[in-house]
Structure formats: C-alpha cells, structure tokens
Chain A
Amino acid sequence: MSTIVLTVVLPLLAAFVVPVLCRVSPLLGRLLGPLTLAYAILLTLQVWLGMEGKPFSIALGGFQPPLGINFYVDRLSLLFTFLTLVTSLLLWPWRNETEPRQYALTLLLAASACGLALSGDLFNIYVFYELISVASFGLAAATRSGAAFAASLRYLILSGLGSVLALCGIAIVYLQTGSLNLAQLSQLAPEALNTPLGMSAFALILLGVGVKGELFPVNSWVPEVYAAASSRVSGLLAGLVSKLAVLVIVRLLVLLFQQESALHLMLILGLLGAISGELAAWRAKDMNRMLAFSSIGQLGVIFIAFSIPGETGLFAGLALSLHHLLVKPGLFLLAERWRGSLAGLRGAGLASPVAGGLFVLLALSLVGMPPLPGFWAKFLLFTGLAAQPSVIYQVALGVVLLSIVIEANYLFRVVMNLFQPAEDNSAAVITSSHGWLNLGTTFLLSVLLIAGMLFMGPLGTWLEGVAMQAADPVLYFDTVFSVSAIH
C-alpha cells in the first residue's frame, strides 16, 4: 500500500538523474523517463487493485497526523495520480532539441502532480503546487523562441502573484484553526471557517490556485503560453495541470468550505470564464490561440460543474474533467501540424484525411454531440444545474448552452475550412517533424474516447462511485485518524 509514495519519489529521483545519465548514455537517458513513468503506472494499478475501493491514509516521516504529514489515497486521488502518469507518458517529449532538460522537467511535473493529488495537508499541497509551477515555467519556455520567453514571463508573474495569494489564504486558514491537516480541518472548518474571514481565505486560495486552473480573471497567460509552447506542453498544461488545480479546489470545497457563498463565488467566476473564453475563441485567428481560449471556456464550465453542491457536482465535474483531459491534448497535438493562421488551413484536412477525421471526432465530442462522451458529461452538468433551486444556477445553465453554440460555430468553421479545396492547390503541408507520433497519440486518445462511449454505462457507475467517495468529509476524517491510530 505504501508503495504509492513511490509514484512521487521515483519520478522525482529520475528527474534529477536524467541530466547526468544523458551525458553518460543518451539512450539510457532517453529511456529512463518513460520507464520510470511506466513503472509508476504499474504501481498505481497495483495499489488500485489492492485497496478494493476503500480509502486509506499513509503517515509520512513517522509522525502521526495532525502533526505529521500524510498522503490520503482514495479513488479520486488515485485516479488523478494514474491520469498524471499516463498523460505525462503519452505527452512525453520524445524528440526535442533540449532533451535532457525537457525530460527532467516533465518528470518533475509528473512527480509534483502526483504529490499534489495525494497530499493530505495544505502545506504539502502548496509545496507541490509550487514545484508544478517551476516545472511548467521551464516547459513553457522550452521552445526558446522570443514569444515563448515573453509568454513564460507573463505566466511567471501571474503564477507568482497567485502563489502569494494562495499562501495568504493558507495563512488565514492556519490563523483561524491552527492546523493545516485537511482531515483535522474538516472537523474544525464548520465553526472556524464559516466566517467572512474564512470566505476570504477561500477566495484567495481559489484565485491563487485558479491561475493554473485557468480561472477567469487570472488566466490571461493562457493564450500566450499555449500559442508559443510546443503542443505537447500545451496539452499537458491544458489537459493535466489545470485539472490538478481544480482538484485542489474541489478538495478544499468538500472538506473546508461548505458554505454556499463559496460555491457561488466559484460559479460566477466559472461563468465569466466560460463565456469570455468561448467568445474570445470565436474571434481567434490561429489554431493554438483558438484552442487556448476554448480551453479557458471549458475550464470555466468545469468550475461551474464543481460548484453544484453535493456529489452531483463532483460527478458532473469529474466527467467533464476526464473528457477534457482526453480531448484537449488530442486537439493540441493535431494543432501542431496546423500552426499559424486559420485562414491558411484551407484544404489541410483533404491533404491529411486521418488528422482531419480525428479533428472532427474530437471537435464533435467537445461540442457535446450525442452519443459521444462529451454529451453525457454535459448532460450530467445540465441536469445537475437544473435541479438546483437557486436562480443563479439556471442562469449558468443558459450561459453554458450559449457557450456551446458559440463553440460549435468556431470549431466547425475550422472543420469546414480544413475540408475545402485550397484555392491555389497548395494544401497545407505537415510542418512538424513528429507528425506521425502526434497523430498516433491522438489516435490513441480517440480510441479511448470511442471506448468511453461504448462503455458509458459501467464508466458512469464507476465514476459516480469515485464522486460519492470523494464527497464524504466524514469518511476522510475517519480514514486519516483511524489509520493513524493503527500505526
């Protein structure tokens, strides 16, 4: 059971070994990262099978919680650990000029993301979150173009401010309760944090962590970075890192901030993000920016989903997150071959019909065409929103529906452009050197998508179980403290 710690430790270790190893043996250096990740995936699966659906907690360093630090392993955190590792492996920077550094940064990202998913206290969450930031700065700047550096700087500034805010929020929580252990906090929170001060702590953490989660006012780094960074990095940031930030916020909402105003705050920010992102994407002139803005929109929708109280919200949010995690990296990988202005893409889909077809499939799922998985995720969201008595949720329903219309419009404008014969017969050529690799990865993601559609029933039941477990603060508390008692 405690082998789950290795999913954090091994990639972290590998991250430091890789640069050295690459000098000794380039081949080994190349293989080390993927092998480590693959092994970590195996470990995760083992733990998954071993836990039989029951959450458990691991006390690290011999100190018992609430004094020591602990990893909380339930189906949700394990799911995200697994997704982190798999996504990092899928989006591994196989061929790049600055290989060792990229390898190390990706491994660092994977390690810290796993840590973030598993951590059971606020302090560790903050530490891992900072580690993710460091790794993603490096990755974002890795293409070494001027635009990439400028974008990374922008990202850096916003991230730094975000960290400060989050730290302030955590400080307030500590001031009010005297603890940073989530399990203990879940006991103290209903009294200590159900105040305006507690609310402001949540707001600060939300905005701070929201920087990575592409939350509305603190996301202006997104279009620049995704436009400049490589597709794999964009996919990693949009698909994975944003979801981890959301995960942190969701944990806090479930355990610490159960007041309605917290949910409403997140709902409103999510709404603004959804509508502003989709609108901006509607006007975007190049592929990567369009996908970046649309990613902002989708994350907005995910925030909206998680702001529905109870496990309905968790269920819908998880479904949307998983779907987005599957689709967005795929679209970014396809975009690699179609960089540049959207108008210049005429005929590109005819030149490479497989890529064009995959783009259509992913776009359809993103828009939510039944019976593709995207529809079911959105259906969960809509039914969840409609069931809420408060008017603001109904408004959110309307706004999300509107955003889908806008989304369908711009995505299919692109699709139509892709399949129009080019005027001068010079169909867009594949510009990227790893066209086949990207295509293969996207194909794999699409196969997963189709599989998800075919096994929607069992998948839904299982995901609902995950959500039920995660939505139970009492279970969290009991698990952490009963296990520590046994130790």
Chain B
Amino acid sequence: MSIQILLMELILMPLVAFVVGLFMVLMLRRIGAKLQRRVGPPMMQPLYDIVKLYGKKTQISHGWMHDIGIVMAVGGYVAAETLLPVPGMDGIADKGGLVTLVYVMMIPSLGLALGVGQCANPNGSIGIARALTAMLAYDVPFVIVVFGVAWYFGTTNLVDIIAIQQAGGVAGWGAIAMPLLAIAGLFALQGHVRQAAF
C-alpha cells in the first residue's frame, strides 16, 4: 500500500466514523422519541448542535488540563478510529490490533476525567469517581469478550479477524458462532457508550 493511499485512509476513516457517529446519535434520539410518542429531531439536528456549540459566546476554561482533557478525549477517539477498519479501508489496524484498540479507547475516558478534575467542582469529581467505577464494571466483561474473540480467531489483528469471518460466510460470523459472547459484548459496549442502564 502506497503512503498516499494510507494517508488518505487515515484522514477518511475518522470522517467516515464522524458521519456514522452523527447518524447514530440522530437515530438514538429519534428512536427514543418514537418510544415516547414524540416526533424527534430533524435529520440535520446533530450538525445544528455542533454549529450551535461553536457559536457560543461564553466559552470558559478552568485551566490548561481542562482544555487538554477535551483534546485528549477527541484525539483518543480519532486515533481509535484509525485502528478500527471500516469497509474498504484498513488504516493502520494491523499495527495495533484488538488489545491496543481497547486501551486506546480508554484514553478519552482518562482525558475527560482529568479535564473534569480540574474544574474544581466537587460534583464533577463525584461523577468521575462513579464513571470510573462503572468502567470497572463494563470493562471486565468487555475484555472477556475480547479474549474470547482473540482466542477463537487465533489472532488480535482486526483485519485478519474480518477476513476469517468473510471467508466462512454467514456461518463464519462471530455473532453466529459465538452468540453468547456477542450478546455479552453488546451489553458491555452499551456501558461503554454510557447509555441508559449504565
């Protein structure tokens, strides 16, 4: 793979993730609204929210760690995305693998925790203490899932894992071969994105 293509993938992959992410946020809110018999936000609402955020006049900072914490949170996810293949693009997924991905995904949490810590607000600190405790709860099942996946496919290279599943057809899908593990992973990831019940 030439360096140009790789660089382009590295730029495109976070963008793909960004679009997919926005769409998922939208879906989340719309499905939630439907359940509550509301109309829900329009298609472009997540984008509007971003624009609104940037338009705010009162941006405050509690110090440099507060700022860096936010940068770390965003940066960690951007980096994590390049380790996670999207269809057609592998990025540098083969340089890190599953375990590295799990750990890179902890960096945003750490960044947020540090940023909130510098806010010098006791409620913030309490929140972080709880969030980290919750992390203990959802990460333990999550790494069990990770271990199971790595053990089943005999590799932690995400590119290979995808290739093995595709080669096996539908029956070779991890979710079909290991349904319980898949459900467990789903639950753990639910905790990861901090949605209801977690």
A contacts B: CB pair < 8 Å:
no
Interface residues of A (CB under 8 A from B): none
Interface residues of B (CB under 8 A from A): none
